[in-house]
Amino acid sequence: MTSLPCQSLALSLADRAAAVYRNDSAAVLVEAAVDRKEGKLSAEGAFVTNTGVFTGRSAKDKYVVRDEHTDKLVWWDNTAALTPEQFDVLRADIEASLSGRELFVQDLFAGADPAHQFNVSVFTPSAWHALFIRNLLIRPARNGLDGFAPDVTIVHNPDFVADPARHGTRSGTVIALDFSRNIVLVGGTAYAGEIKKSVFSLFNFHAPAEGVLPMHCSANMGKEGDSALFFGLSGTGKTTLSTDPNRTLVGDDEHGWSDTGVFNLEGGCYAKAIDLSPRAEPEIYAATRRFGTVLENVGIDPDSRELDYADRSRTENTRAAYPLYIMDNVSRTGTAPAPANIVLLTCDAFGVLPPIARLTPDQAVYHFLSGYTAKVAGTERGVTEPEATFSACFGAPFMSLHPTVYGRMLKKRIKESLSECWLINTGWTGGAYGVGKRISIADTRALLDAALSGQLVNAPARLDPVFGFSVPLAVPGVEPALLDPRESWDDKEAYDRQSARLVGLFEANFEKFEAADAQIAEAGPRLAVAAE
Domain spans in the chain, listed from the N-terminal domain onward: 4-38+58-210, 269-326, 340-531
CA 9 to chain centre: 28
Domain 269-326 classified CATH 2.170.8.10? yes
498: left (phi over 0), alpha (psi -120 to 50) or beta: alpha
Q: From CA 384, how far away is CA 381, in angstroms rounded? A: 8
What kind of architecture, by CATH, is found in domain 340-531? Alpha-Beta Complex (3.90)
DSSP symbol at 139: P
Give the per-residue pLDDT at 4: 67
Cα 106 to Cα 25, 40, 130, 185: the distances in Å are 10, 22, 6, 15
List the chain residues with pLDDT less than 70: 1-4, 376-385, 528-532
DSSP, res 318: -
Give the C-alpha separation, 138 to 144, whole Å. 11
Residue 527 pLDDT: 72
What pLDDT shows up at residue 1? 58
Return d(Cα 264, Cα 447) in angstroms, integer. Answer: 25
Q: So what's the pLDDT on residue 235?
A: 82
Q: What is the CA radius of gyration of the chain?
A: 23
**DSSP state letters, 289-307:** TSTT-EEES-EE-TTT--E
Which residues are known to be catalytic? 57, 197, 216, 234, 238-239, 253, 319
The pLDDT value recorded for residue 528 is 62
Q: What is the pLDDT of residue 514?
A: 81
In degrees rounded to 5, what are phi and psi of residue 40?
A: -145, 165
| Per-residue model confidence (pLDDT) at position 521 | 87
Other C-beta atoms closer than 10 Å to the C-beta of 144 total: 12
The closest of 109, 115, 181, 104 to 145, measured between CA atoms, is 109
User: 224 burial class (0-12, 13-18, 19+ CB within 10 angstroms)?
Assistant: exposed
| Segment 185-242, tens digit of pLDDT | 999 999 999 999 999 999 999 999 999 999 999 999 999 999 999 999 988 889 889 9
DSSP collapsed to 3 states, 162-221 = CCHHHHCCCCCCEEEEECCCCEEEEECCCCCHHHHHHHHHHHHHHHHHHCCEEEEEEEEE
Nearest CA to 393 out of 243, 221, 257, 260 is that of: 257
The amino acid at 272: K
Backbone angles phi, psi at 176, to 5 degrees: -120, 130
What is the length of the chain? 532
Q: Which of 191, 181, 182 is nearest to 156 (CA)?
A: 191
pLDDT at residue 378 in the model? 41
Classified by CATH at the fold level, domain 4-38+58-210 comes out as: Phosphoenolpyruvate Carboxykinase; domain 1 (3.40.449)
- Predicted local distance difference test score (pLDDT) of residue 2: 57
